[in-house]
Amino acid sequence: MNGHETVQPPLDDASVASDPVRASTAEIKSVIASMIAEEGERNSAAGTALDRNCAHDRVRWAILERIMDGTYQPGERLKELTLAREFHLSQAPVREALRKLEAIGVVKSEPYRGARVRELSPTELRDAYQLRGILEQAATEFIADFPEEAVRTLETEYAAMRAAVTAGDLQGVACHNRNFHRCIVERCQNQEILRAWKSLGICMRARLNVQRRLDRLPEAILSHQPIIDALRTGNLRYAGQLLRDHSFGFVSDLV
């Protein structure tokens, strides 16, 4: 593909970034960063320099980014040698990257048949939204306290979300929505809940494509306001209830 590159020795981030569709790259990066952080947490307390050294980790990061930003569509084939050539690597590290992505459910592969970006059926999506609601409710009940500073972050994200929806920027809506919810769940004392929520987030990546009911989107977004209010007044239990209902609300759109 974008073969013989310029400088970067093995996997040049340049090629990754200069390539295709690019909208709000910074936002996407932050999402990706949180995912990487998730795995870092799982692997070691301070998950930092892990993906700097290993080619297979860089490849995994790059593929994940492309899946998240829509470069690779759901169902799209991921050929090992093609990716290897693109990254100026051999097949082995690409395979390892795909194995990890397969294990966390981002990619689906069959022996001798290759790997594809995993597609989510409406049923799976419905189940995922329900589970997200359950986890967010539980997480909220485990929050020790919700400081004013965090409330302000919520308001910022909420405002950005409304701005994005009026601008018709679905990508932006998805991103700020995710940030909003993450800001809440991250305050949870229970790391396993947080981990489960994040691993679910990976599967929810099917950006708002599924939200074909664009007309109902604005009203869905407005339901974030009461959540902010409940959190500000420290009514965590009620906030949890609202979050659960909020997620369950999407279910009806999905069969």
Partner DNA sequence: ATTCTTAGGATTATCGATAATCCGCCGCTC
Partner DNA sequence: GAGCGGCGGATTATCGATAATCCTAAGAAT
Q: Which residues bind DNA (CB under 7 A)?
A: 1-3, 10, 53-56, 77-81, 84, 88-93, 95-96, 109-115
Closest C-alpha to 27, from 87, 76, 70: 70
Q: Which does 254 bind (CB under 5 to 8 A by kind): a second copy, DNA, none?
A: none
Q: Cβ of residue 45: shortest distance to DNA, in angstroms?
A: 16
CB within 8 A of 127, min separation 6: which ones? none
Closest C-alpha to 235, from 140, 135, 133, 132: 140
Q: Cβ of residue 181: shortest distance to a second copy, in angstroms?
A: 16
Nearer to DNA, 116 or 207 (CB): 116
Q: Do residues 97 and 60 lie in contact, with contact meaning Cβ atoms separated by under 8 Å?
A: yes
Spell out a b/e string for 68-81, using b for 16 or more CB atoms within 10 Å of the CB, else e.
Answer: bbbbbeeeeebebe
Nearer to DNA, 109 or 211 (CB): 109
Q: Which does 1 bind (CB under 5 to 8 A by kind): DNA, a second copy, none?
A: DNA
Pairing of strands 77-78, 114-117: antiparallel
Q: Do residues 254 and 210 lie in contact, with contact meaning Cβ atoms separated by under 8 Å?
A: yes
The CB density around residue 171, as the number of other CB atoms within 10 Å, is 18
C-alpha 182/C-alpha 152 separation (Å) is: 14
* Lookup: tokens for 33: 């960063």
Nearer to a second copy, 8 or 191 (CB): 191
Q: Which does 169 bind (CB under 5 to 8 A by kind): DNA, a second copy, none?
A: none
Q: Cβ of residue 4: shortest distance to a second copy, in angstroms?
A: 23
**Which residues make up the interface to a second copy (CB under 8 A)?**
39, 42-44, 50, 53-54, 56-57, 92, 95-96, 99-105, 108-112, 123-124, 127-128, 130-131, 134-135, 138, 142, 190-193, 196, 199-200, 203
Nearer to DNA, 3 or 168 (CB): 3
Q: Cβ of residue 12: shortest distance to a second copy, in angstroms?
A: 20
Closest C-alpha to 188, from 238, 247, 137: 137
Q: Which does 219 bind (CB under 5 to 8 A by kind): a second copy, DNA, none?
A: none
Q: Cβ of residue 33: shortest distance to a second copy, in angstroms?
A: 18
C-alpha 80/C-alpha 225 separation (Å) is: 46
Nearer to DNA, 1 or 144 (CB): 1
Please report, as a single letter, which amino acid is at residue 194: L
Q: Cβ of residue 47: shortest distance to DNA, in angstroms?
A: 14
Q: Which does 138 bind (CB under 5 to 8 A by kind): DNA, a second copy, none?
A: a second copy
